[in-house]
Amino acid sequence: MLQFFQSFPLDLLLIQTVNGIVSGLILALVASGLTLIFGIMDVVNFAHGELFMLGAYLGVVVLATTGSFWLALIVATLIVAILGAAMQIVTLRPLIGRDPLNTILVTFGISLILQNFALWEFGPVARKLPEPITSYFTLFYLQYPWYRIVIAGLSAAIIGGFWLFLKYSKFGVWIRATTQDRVMAQAMGIPVPWVYTGVFAIGAAMAAASGVLFGPLGSINHTMGLDWVLKAFIVVVVGGMGNLGGSIAAAIFVSLLESYAAIWLDPSRAVIVSFVVLILTLLFRPTGLFVPTPK
């Protein structure tokens, strides 16, 4: 027993904690877009992962033409936001008032189109985004890239900014009113269909922004969307459905567990840890881990 604790890789544990928090914050950004769309519109956006992927690809394209990563981040986010708004108007607006299961089918159709478009346009070879910040600091024996810390901070800032937007801006108040009571909001003169469109655009923008930010950490290919949407789904279920705070907590929790598991397990199998968390949540607390117990 004592031997076990002596051999416990404390430094490795700390490094993985930092890693887990960094990837957790990116995941939180993805998942909060998903939760936002679900919480307000009752739409499960199956194409969320594809918007993430599209953001990353657009980042590559814009970076290649302009040479600036930060410009790429902004342009890709804006383009995907406009695309999201168009998607909502064309495909989801006719479905308002129908069984919500229709929306998961339609967004699944969109994800098929986007994924195959990416394969057609960019080919099966994975792309890379270079890191915009190349300096390092020393974490134990490791040179830890500043860029990861910057992304974590940026993700947190975007989520925080969004929270402030919901709380204080006029559109944010509209969004919250629509969440509470759609019919009443409409009666008070809030343009509910446009609130939906706006929310979808914001959710899409959040997915795209996280796609560009994540770009330098891994490779970009046309199938990455499914991985991310799965992770985000797990986080949304574990965090409690349609609950923004819960999703963020769950994102960090799941990512931390996965990165600890990666110390002992092969990374491709470490994914199983998040599946186990999901199963345990469903067994013992199907309403979600990070929400108050429903009365």
Partner 1 sequence: MTTAPFDKAMPLGKGKLSHTAVYWIGFCAVMAVLIVAPLVLPIFWAKFLTEILIWGLLAMSSDLLIGYTGMISFGHSAFFGLGMYGAAGALLQTHPPNLWLAILAGLGGAAGAALFVAYFSTRLRDIYFAITTLIFSQIFYVIIFTWTAVTGGENGLIFTRPHFSLPFLVDMRFNVLTMHWFVLALVAGSYLLLRRITRSPFGMVLQSIRENEARTRAIGYPVERYKIVAVMLSGLFAGLAGVLYAVQNEFAAPDFVFFVTSGDTVIFNVIGGIGTLVGPIVGAGFFQLLRELMSRVFGEQFPYLIPLGFIFIAIIIFLPQGLLGFARRWLNR
Q: If binding is defined by CB under 8 A, does position 113 make contact with partner 1?
A: yes
Binding segment toward partner 1, per CB under 8 A, in 61-69, 94-102, 144-152, 154-162: 94-102
> How far is 78 from 68, CA to CA, in rounded Å?
15
Is residue 284 part of the contact set for partner 1 (CB under 8 A)?
A: no
Residue 131: both structure tokens together: 């890191």
Specify the length of the chain in residues.
Answer: 295
Q: Which residues contact 92 (CB under 8 A, 6 or more apart)?
A: 41, 43, 103, 106, 107, 196, 200
Closest CA to 257 of 230, 276, 232: 276
Q: Does 267 bind partner 1 (CB under 8 A)?
A: no
Residue 122 within binding range of partner 1, rule CB under 8 A: no
The window from 11-19, 56-64, 209-217, 266-274 that contacts partner 1 (CB under 8 A) reads: 266-274
Q: Which amino acid is at 260?
A: Y
8-16, 25-33, 100-108, 192-200 -> range binding partner 1 (CB under 8 A): 100-108
With beta carbons less than 8 A apart as the criterion, state whether 53 and 211 touch: yes
* Contact status, residue 197 vs residue 42, Cβ threshold 8 Å: no
Q: 76, 85, 158, 234: which one contacts partner 1 (CB under 8 A)?
A: 234
128 binds partner 1 (CB under 8 A): no
Rounded to 5°, the CA angle 51-200-258 comes to 50
117 counts as binding partner 1 under rule CB under 8 A:
yes
| Residues engaged in binding partner 1 (CB under 8 A) | 38, 44, 91, 94-95, 98, 100-102, 104-106, 108-110, 112-113, 115-117, 119-120, 226, 230, 233-234, 236-237, 241, 266, 268-269, 271-272, 275, 278-279, 282-283, 286
